[in-house]
Homo-oligomer: A and B are copies of this chain.
Amino acid sequence: VRGVDIADRTAVPRGVIVTVGDEILLGQTVDTNAAWLGRELALLGVPVVRRYTVADLDEEIRTAVAEAAKISDLVLVSGGLGPTPDDLTRDAVAGLLELRLLVDPALLERLESRFRERGYEELPRNNRSQAMIPEGARVLANPYGTAPGLVLEADDALVVLLPGIPRELRGIFSQGVRPLLEECFGPRMIPVGIRLVHTTGIPESLLAQRIGELLPEDTGPVGLAFLPDLRGVDVRFTATGVEPEEAERWFDRLEEALEPVLGPWRFEAPEGDLVEAVSGALRSRGLTLAVAESCTGGLISKRVTDRPGSSKIFVGGVVAYANEAKQRQLGLDQDVLEREGAVSETVARAMAHGVAERFGADTGIGVTGIAGPDGATEDKPVGTVWYAVTLGGETVTRHERFTGDRAAVRERAAQAALALLLRLLEDRVTITS
């Protein structure tokens, strides 16, 4: 943002975001749309220079859009395009620009067929408003819903209206707004260069310390940031003010210098999901997976099947929550369960092995632990988790005490089990049991 000349329309184009909705002002909804748009626009080379959030009131929407258009090249308005009476953005912006609202026949046809498919005889009256567009507006298709994006012009600025539902907003942005910006501002946009290295299994503080020890004195135009979440830490390299090729050269050089630290923990995943790496490794080796879960309660199966094409590598799984389910569904011994407890190395091992065998899969994962808040014992506090991976008839086990609440323990346990499978597949861990 710094250094952007507000008056110069030949310089880097500037964006302003206007989000519409009482629920945002009242704090019932956190404005993640504005953050997402800010990030995407920075990456494209259209830094956001101001944001407004306004109420579901005609006058407020008009005021914000008018002010925004004065100081920017691009006004992104999110929210208020739905079919209900409190959705006022379309009307307010048309009013501001003195444009009539007209029915768009193609849009109406698409809406009607969408509702017919869902078994309605005719379009609900409220939805008809979503086929109305301000005269002359360009329509950007909505891949996930009924309200399209709308492109207008005000005060020499592009004004783009987007629905507030995050998935729809992101879909329209990626498919429609991105190419529009290339078309309108192309040569003026200077993107920020970014490379992400995904890691899992090493805490942020330790990773940062080791990277600090290895980082070359001269990092050129590149800055480093650590982005931690429950599943791991992304290391983000950012290069500003240089051409993409030079940025890439710097990234390569720094990554090579940091490889001794990153190597054991990193994984390759275009969307940042460890499951991408695991699925790829299974598929390239022609192997299949089955999963037995206790404390993670279906989370691992859910994550694996979140991704399209998972049927090629995933056979199925068992959520063995009750002990009886562990016995009946996975063939665990009642004696073992009673002697060693459900959260034990023997049980994790038997779960991984049992589920692979029963589902006829090449690999198996077993996870058992105490996610909390209840269920802790003196020697097994909340966060205690045993997990195991079976591969080629051999089984490897690990145990950890994860920190955080129930959700955190479950996320960390699922991620750790998937990471162990990946490292076994890639021969980064050897089976020595």
Q: Which residues of A contact B (CB under 8 A)?
A: 1-2, 22-32, 34-40, 42, 47-57, 60, 64, 82-86, 114, 117-118, 124-127, 143-144, 146, 165, 167, 192, 194, 203-206, 208-209, 212, 223-230, 236, 238, 290-291, 293, 296-302, 304-306, 308-311, 314-322, 324-325, 328-329, 358-360, 372-375, 401, 403-408, 410
B316–A318 CB distance below 8 A: yes
B315–A374 CB distance below 8 A: no
* Chain B residue with the shortest CB-CB distance to A291: B319
B298–A299 CB distance below 8 A: yes
Report chain B residues within 8 Å CB of A86: 223-226
Sample of 7 further A-B pairs with CB below 8 A, known A26-B238, A84-B225, A86-B226: A1-B57, A2-B56, A2-B57, A26-B42, A296-B302, A298-B319, A314-B322
* Copies of this chain: 2
A127–B329 CB distance below 8 A: no
Report chain B residues within 8 Å CB of A358: 328-329
Of the candidates B2, B82, B209, B309, the one whose C-beta lies within 8 Å of that of A126 is: B209
A118–B401 CB distance below 8 A: yes
Of the candidates B124, B204, B291, B302, the one whose C-beta lies within 8 Å of that of A299 is: B302
B83–A359 CB distance below 8 A: no
Report chain B residues within 8 Å CB of A301: 293, 297-298, 301-302, 319
Report chain B residues within 8 Å CB of A117: 401, 403
CA distance A49 to B53 in the complex (A): 9
A225–B320 CB distance below 8 A: no
Report chain B residues within 8 Å CB of A60: 49-50
B359–A308 CB distance below 8 A: no
* Chain B residue with the shortest CB-CB distance to A84: B208
Report chain B residues within 8 Å CB of A311: 321-322, 375
A51–B49 CB distance below 8 A: no
Report chain B residues within 8 Å CB of A224: 86
Of the candidates B167, B208, B318, the one whose C-beta lies within 8 Å of that of A83 is: B208
Give the Cβ gap from A295 to chain B, nearest Cβ, in Å: 8
Report chain B residues within 8 Å CB of A403: 114, 117-118
A22–B308 CB distance below 8 A: no
Of the candidates B29, B47, B48, B204, the one whose C-beta lies within 8 Å of that of A35 is: B29
Report chain B residues within 8 Å CB of A305: 296-298, 319, 321, 410
5 A-B pairs (CB sep. < 8 Å): A31-B31, A49-B55, A83-B204, A84-B205, A84-B225
Most buried by B among A26, A39, A236, A304: A26
Report chain B residues within 8 Å CB of A114: 403
Given contacts A82-B204, A317-B298, contact A144 B227 (CB under 8 A): no
A125–B27 CB distance below 8 A: no
Of the candidates B296, B325, B408, the one whose C-beta lies within 8 Å of that of A144 is: B408
* Chain B residue with the shortest CB-CB distance to A208: B84
CA distance A208 to B104 in the complex (A): 23
